[in-house]
Amino acid sequence: MRTLAGQFNLTVSPRTYQPCCKFRNRFRSVGHLKININKSIDLDELRKRNQGVKKGGFWTPHDCPPRSRVIIIVPHRNRWSHLIQWLAHYHPILQRQKLEYRIVVTEQVQRNLFNKGRLYNAAFLECERAFDFDCVIFHDVDMLLENDHNMYWCYNMTRPRHLSPAVDKFRYQLPYHILVGGVLAMTRHMFKRVNGFSNQFWGWGGEDDDMWGRLVAVNTTVDRPHPTIGRYTMIKHRTRKGERNFMLTYRLVLLATSGSRWSRDGLNDVRDYCKLTQVAHEPLFTHFVFDVGNQPRQKPRNT
Protein backbone atom coordinates (compact mmCIF):
# COMPACT_ATOMS: atom_id res chain seq x y z
CA MET A 1 0.00 0.00 0.00
CA ARG A 2 1.00 3.57 -0.60
CA THR A 3 1.05 5.77 2.42
CA LEU A 4 1.12 9.45 3.09
CA ALA A 5 3.84 11.25 4.94
CA GLY A 6 3.63 13.99 7.49
CA GLN A 7 2.53 14.70 11.01
CA PHE A 8 0.51 17.19 13.00
CA ASN A 9 3.48 18.92 14.63
CA LEU A 10 2.76 21.93 16.79
CA THR A 11 5.53 23.79 18.57
CA VAL A 12 4.37 26.39 21.09
CA SER A 13 5.93 28.41 23.86
CA PRO A 14 4.45 27.73 27.31
CA ARG A 15 5.03 31.37 28.19
CA THR A 16 2.88 32.58 25.32
CA TYR A 17 0.25 29.91 24.79
CA GLN A 18 -2.13 28.24 27.20
CA PRO A 19 -4.27 25.16 26.58
CA CYS A 20 -7.48 26.16 24.87
CA CYS A 21 -9.65 24.12 27.20
CA LYS A 22 -8.54 26.09 30.28
CA PHE A 23 -10.11 29.28 29.02
CA ARG A 24 -13.76 29.01 28.06
CA ASN A 25 -13.66 32.39 26.35
CA ARG A 26 -11.28 30.91 23.80
CA PHE A 27 -14.18 28.74 22.60
CA ARG A 28 -16.46 30.58 20.23
CA SER A 29 -19.24 28.01 20.20
CA VAL A 30 -22.73 29.36 19.70
CA GLY A 31 -24.83 26.45 20.98
CA HIS A 32 -27.89 25.68 18.88
CA LEU A 33 -27.19 25.92 15.15
CA LYS A 34 -29.59 26.67 12.34
CA ILE A 35 -29.22 23.97 9.70
CA ASN A 36 -29.14 25.61 6.29
CA ILE A 37 -28.79 23.12 3.45
CA ASN A 38 -27.54 25.28 0.59
CA LYS A 39 -27.49 23.10 -2.50
CA SER A 40 -25.97 25.87 -4.63
CA ILE A 41 -22.67 26.01 -2.73
CA ASP A 42 -19.58 24.74 -4.57
CA LEU A 43 -16.08 23.70 -3.60
CA ASP A 44 -14.43 26.91 -4.85
CA GLU A 45 -16.65 28.98 -2.59
CA LEU A 46 -15.84 26.70 0.35
CA ARG A 47 -12.12 27.14 -0.27
CA LYS A 48 -12.50 30.91 -0.08
CA ARG A 49 -14.41 30.60 3.20
CA ASN A 50 -11.77 28.33 4.73
CA GLN A 51 -8.45 29.80 3.60
CA GLY A 52 -6.87 28.92 6.96
CA VAL A 53 -7.38 25.21 6.31
CA LYS A 54 -4.22 23.58 5.01
CA LYS A 55 -4.08 21.17 2.12
CA GLY A 56 -5.48 17.80 3.11
CA GLY A 57 -8.15 19.34 5.36
CA PHE A 58 -5.80 20.08 8.28
CA TRP A 59 -6.26 22.93 10.74
CA THR A 60 -4.78 23.80 14.14
CA PRO A 61 -5.40 26.79 16.43
CA HIS A 62 -2.72 29.47 16.53
CA ASP A 63 -3.48 31.05 19.90
CA CYS A 64 -3.29 27.91 22.07
CA PRO A 65 -2.18 24.29 21.82
CA PRO A 66 -5.14 21.96 21.25
CA ARG A 67 -6.17 19.47 23.90
CA SER A 68 -6.84 16.75 21.32
CA ARG A 69 -5.50 15.87 17.86
CA VAL A 70 -8.45 14.53 15.90
CA ILE A 71 -8.91 12.55 12.71
CA ILE A 72 -12.47 12.59 11.35
CA ILE A 73 -13.13 9.75 8.91
CA VAL A 74 -16.09 10.22 6.57
CA PRO A 75 -17.08 7.36 4.22
CA HIS A 76 -18.53 8.58 0.96
CA ARG A 77 -19.85 7.26 -2.33
CA ASN A 78 -21.90 9.13 -4.93
CA ARG A 79 -22.95 11.74 -2.39
CA TRP A 80 -20.92 14.71 -3.55
CA SER A 81 -23.68 17.18 -2.65
CA HIS A 82 -23.84 15.72 0.86
CA LEU A 83 -20.09 15.96 1.23
CA ILE A 84 -20.08 19.62 0.19
CA GLN A 85 -22.78 20.35 2.77
CA TRP A 86 -20.83 18.40 5.39
CA LEU A 87 -17.61 20.32 4.76
CA ALA A 88 -19.39 23.66 4.76
CA HIS A 89 -21.05 22.81 8.07
CA TYR A 90 -18.16 21.28 10.01
CA HIS A 91 -15.02 23.25 9.20
CA PRO A 92 -16.29 26.34 11.07
CA ILE A 93 -17.55 24.24 13.99
CA LEU A 94 -14.27 22.38 14.46
CA GLN A 95 -12.35 25.64 14.33
CA ARG A 96 -14.60 27.24 16.94
CA GLN A 97 -13.94 24.24 19.16
CA LYS A 98 -10.20 24.94 18.86
CA LEU A 99 -9.34 21.44 17.72
CA GLU A 100 -6.34 20.28 15.76
CA TYR A 101 -8.07 18.20 13.15
CA ARG A 102 -7.82 16.56 9.77
CA ILE A 103 -10.81 15.49 7.70
CA VAL A 104 -10.34 12.23 5.83
CA VAL A 105 -12.86 11.18 3.18
CA THR A 106 -12.71 7.49 2.33
CA GLU A 107 -14.29 5.94 -0.75
CA GLN A 108 -14.42 2.56 -2.46
CA VAL A 109 -13.71 1.80 -6.11
CA GLN A 110 -16.38 -0.86 -6.54
CA ARG A 111 -19.88 -0.03 -7.69
CA ASN A 112 -21.35 -2.97 -5.77
CA LEU A 113 -22.65 -2.85 -2.20
CA PHE A 114 -20.98 -0.45 0.20
CA ASN A 115 -18.66 -1.83 2.89
CA LYS A 116 -18.33 0.93 5.47
CA GLY A 117 -16.45 -1.22 7.99
CA ARG A 118 -13.61 -1.92 5.56
CA LEU A 119 -13.41 1.74 4.58
CA TYR A 120 -13.23 2.82 8.23
CA ASN A 121 -10.57 0.24 9.08
CA ALA A 122 -8.40 0.81 6.03
CA ALA A 123 -8.55 4.60 6.38
CA PHE A 124 -7.66 4.37 10.08
CA LEU A 125 -4.56 2.28 9.33
CA GLU A 126 -3.44 4.70 6.63
CA CYS A 127 -3.92 7.62 9.02
CA GLU A 128 -2.00 5.80 11.73
CA ARG A 129 0.95 5.30 9.39
CA ALA A 130 0.90 8.87 8.10
CA PHE A 131 -0.35 11.22 10.82
CA ASP A 132 -0.05 11.94 14.52
CA PHE A 133 -3.42 11.84 16.31
CA ASP A 134 -4.94 10.64 19.57
CA CYS A 135 -8.65 10.75 18.73
CA VAL A 136 -10.65 9.34 15.83
CA ILE A 137 -14.26 10.16 14.95
CA PHE A 138 -16.22 7.94 12.58
CA HIS A 139 -18.81 10.14 10.92
CA ASP A 140 -21.64 9.51 8.44
CA VAL A 141 -21.68 12.06 5.64
CA ASP A 142 -25.39 12.79 6.06
CA MET A 143 -25.24 13.81 9.76
CA LEU A 144 -25.24 17.55 10.53
CA LEU A 145 -24.65 18.68 14.12
CA GLU A 146 -27.29 21.01 15.58
CA ASN A 147 -25.41 22.11 18.71
CA ASP A 148 -21.70 22.93 18.70
CA HIS A 149 -21.43 22.41 22.47
CA ASN A 150 -21.13 18.75 21.47
CA MET A 151 -17.34 18.54 21.54
CA TYR A 152 -15.51 16.62 18.81
CA TRP A 153 -12.57 15.49 20.91
CA CYS A 154 -11.36 12.68 23.19
CA TYR A 155 -10.19 14.87 26.08
CA ASN A 156 -10.39 12.92 29.37
CA MET A 157 -12.28 10.15 27.57
CA THR A 158 -12.49 6.85 29.46
CA ARG A 159 -15.04 5.20 27.16
CA PRO A 160 -16.03 5.69 23.53
CA ARG A 161 -18.56 8.48 23.06
CA HIS A 162 -21.60 8.08 20.85
CA LEU A 163 -22.04 11.71 19.83
CA SER A 164 -25.35 11.35 17.94
CA PRO A 165 -28.06 9.98 20.25
CA ALA A 166 -30.76 12.43 19.05
CA VAL A 167 -31.44 12.52 15.29
CA ASP A 168 -34.38 14.27 13.66
CA LYS A 169 -35.23 11.18 11.60
CA PHE A 170 -35.94 9.32 14.86
CA ARG A 171 -37.73 12.28 16.47
CA TYR A 172 -34.62 12.98 18.54
CA GLN A 173 -35.01 9.70 20.43
CA LEU A 174 -32.43 6.91 20.68
CA PRO A 175 -34.05 4.05 18.68
CA TYR A 176 -32.36 1.30 20.72
CA HIS A 177 -29.77 1.30 23.47
CA ILE A 178 -26.97 -0.52 21.62
CA LEU A 179 -26.95 1.99 18.75
CA VAL A 180 -23.52 3.57 18.18
CA GLY A 181 -23.95 4.53 14.52
CA GLY A 182 -23.98 8.02 13.04
CA VAL A 183 -21.08 9.69 14.86
CA LEU A 184 -18.75 7.75 17.16
CA ALA A 185 -15.64 9.13 18.88
CA MET A 186 -12.91 6.84 20.21
CA THR A 187 -9.35 7.18 21.33
CA ARG A 188 -6.81 5.67 18.99
CA HIS A 189 -5.95 3.09 21.66
CA MET A 190 -9.57 2.03 22.22
CA PHE A 191 -10.26 1.53 18.52
CA LYS A 192 -7.27 -0.77 18.25
CA ARG A 193 -8.31 -2.57 21.42
CA VAL A 194 -11.65 -3.64 19.86
CA ASN A 195 -9.89 -4.50 16.56
CA GLY A 196 -11.82 -1.85 14.66
CA PHE A 197 -15.04 -2.52 12.80
CA SER A 198 -16.07 -5.82 11.24
CA ASN A 199 -15.10 -6.25 7.59
CA GLN A 200 -18.02 -8.57 6.82
CA PHE A 201 -21.04 -6.25 6.59
CA TRP A 202 -22.14 -5.17 3.12
CA GLY A 203 -24.87 -2.73 2.26
CA TRP A 204 -26.98 -0.77 4.70
CA GLY A 205 -26.39 -1.23 8.43
CA GLY A 206 -24.92 -3.86 10.71
CA GLU A 207 -21.31 -2.86 11.32
CA ASP A 208 -22.37 -0.30 13.94
CA ASP A 209 -24.40 -2.81 15.96
CA ASP A 210 -21.51 -5.25 15.69
CA MET A 211 -19.29 -2.56 17.23
CA TRP A 212 -21.44 -2.66 20.38
CA GLY A 213 -20.63 -6.37 20.71
CA ARG A 214 -16.93 -5.57 20.43
CA LEU A 215 -17.17 -2.95 23.16
CA VAL A 216 -18.96 -5.39 25.44
CA ALA A 217 -16.29 -8.01 24.70
CA VAL A 218 -13.62 -5.70 26.17
CA ASN A 219 -15.85 -4.76 29.14
CA THR A 220 -16.92 -1.29 28.12
CA THR A 221 -19.90 0.47 26.52
CA VAL A 222 -20.34 4.14 25.52
CA ASP A 223 -21.01 7.56 26.96
CA ARG A 224 -23.48 9.90 25.28
CA PRO A 225 -24.10 13.65 25.46
CA HIS A 226 -27.45 14.88 26.73
CA PRO A 227 -30.11 14.69 23.97
CA THR A 228 -30.35 18.49 23.92
CA ILE A 229 -26.65 18.60 23.00
CA GLY A 230 -26.24 15.48 20.85
CA ARG A 231 -28.79 16.61 18.27
CA TYR A 232 -28.37 16.05 14.51
CA THR A 233 -30.20 16.64 11.28
CA MET A 234 -29.92 13.77 8.80
CA ILE A 235 -29.80 14.79 5.14
CA LYS A 236 -32.45 12.82 3.32
CA HIS A 237 -31.35 10.17 0.85
CA ARG A 238 -32.56 6.92 -0.66
CA THR A 239 -31.27 3.49 0.35
CA ARG A 240 -29.73 1.79 -2.65
CA LYS A 241 -31.61 -1.04 -4.30
CA GLY A 242 -30.60 -4.37 -2.80
CA GLU A 243 -28.84 -2.98 0.27
CA ARG A 244 -31.78 -3.38 2.62
CA ASN A 245 -32.47 -6.93 1.43
CA PHE A 246 -28.84 -7.86 2.00
CA MET A 247 -29.01 -6.41 5.49
CA LEU A 248 -32.10 -8.47 6.32
CA THR A 249 -30.50 -11.65 4.99
CA TYR A 250 -27.04 -11.35 6.50
CA ARG A 251 -27.19 -9.00 9.46
CA LEU A 252 -28.64 -11.32 12.11
CA VAL A 253 -26.33 -14.17 11.16
CA LEU A 254 -23.26 -11.98 11.52
CA LEU A 255 -24.42 -10.24 14.68
CA ALA A 256 -24.95 -13.61 16.35
CA THR A 257 -21.20 -14.26 16.04
CA SER A 258 -19.88 -10.85 17.15
CA GLY A 259 -18.58 -12.12 20.49
CA SER A 260 -16.54 -14.95 18.96
CA ARG A 261 -15.47 -13.19 15.76
CA TRP A 262 -14.31 -9.72 16.86
CA SER A 263 -10.69 -10.62 17.62
CA ARG A 264 -10.01 -12.02 14.14
CA ASP A 265 -12.25 -9.82 11.99
CA GLY A 266 -11.27 -6.17 11.83
CA LEU A 267 -8.07 -4.13 11.75
CA ASN A 268 -5.89 -7.22 11.86
CA ASP A 269 -7.20 -8.65 8.57
CA VAL A 270 -8.53 -5.68 6.60
CA ARG A 271 -5.39 -5.63 4.43
CA ASP A 272 -6.40 -9.06 3.18
CA TYR A 273 -9.37 -7.37 1.51
CA CYS A 274 -8.42 -3.74 0.90
CA LYS A 275 -5.86 -2.06 -1.30
CA LEU A 276 -5.23 1.67 -1.41
CA THR A 277 -5.58 2.83 -5.01
CA GLN A 278 -5.55 6.61 -4.74
CA VAL A 279 -4.48 9.34 -2.31
CA ALA A 280 -5.20 13.03 -2.82
CA HIS A 281 -4.53 16.05 -0.62
CA GLU A 282 -7.56 18.13 -1.53
CA PRO A 283 -7.85 21.70 -0.22
CA LEU A 284 -10.45 20.79 2.42
CA PHE A 285 -9.90 17.06 3.01
CA THR A 286 -7.58 14.13 2.52
CA HIS A 287 -9.07 11.64 0.07
CA PHE A 288 -8.42 7.88 0.21
CA VAL A 289 -9.83 5.52 -2.42
CA PHE A 290 -9.73 1.77 -1.72
CA ASP A 291 -10.37 -1.42 -3.60
CA VAL A 292 -12.40 -3.20 -0.91
CA GLY A 293 -12.76 -6.54 -2.68
CA ASN A 294 -15.94 -8.29 -3.74
CA GLN A 295 -18.96 -9.13 -1.64
CA PRO A 296 -19.56 -12.82 -0.90
CA ARG A 297 -22.21 -14.70 -2.85
CA GLN A 298 -23.06 -17.11 -0.06
CA LYS A 299 -24.60 -16.40 3.33
CA PRO A 300 -22.02 -16.47 6.16
CA ARG A 301 -22.08 -19.46 8.48
CA ASN A 302 -23.48 -18.96 11.96
CA THR A 303 -20.24 -19.95 13.72
| Residues taking part in catalysis | 140, 142, 204, 207-208, 234, 237-238
DSSP letters spanning 157-189: -SS-EE--SEEGGGTTS-SSTT---SEEEEEHH
Residues 214, 218, 223, CA angle at the centre, nearest 5°? 80
Residues 6+ apart with CB under 8 A from 76: 82, 83, 105, 106, 107, 141
Distance CA 17, CA 96 (A): 17
269 Cα distance to chain centroid: 20
Q: Which DSSP string do the residues of 215-282 spell out, in sequence order?
A: HHHTT---B---TTTSEEEEPP-PPPTTHHHHHHHHHHHHHTTHHHHTTTSSTTTGGGT-EEEEEEE-
Contact 149, 32 (CB under 8 A): no
Q: Is 144 helix (H, G, I), strand (E, B) or coil?
A: strand
DSSP tag of 81: H
Backbone dihedral angles phi then psi of residue 101, each to the nearest 5 degrees? -145, 160
Q: Region of 15 please: left (phi>0), alpha (psi -120 to 50) or beta.
A: alpha
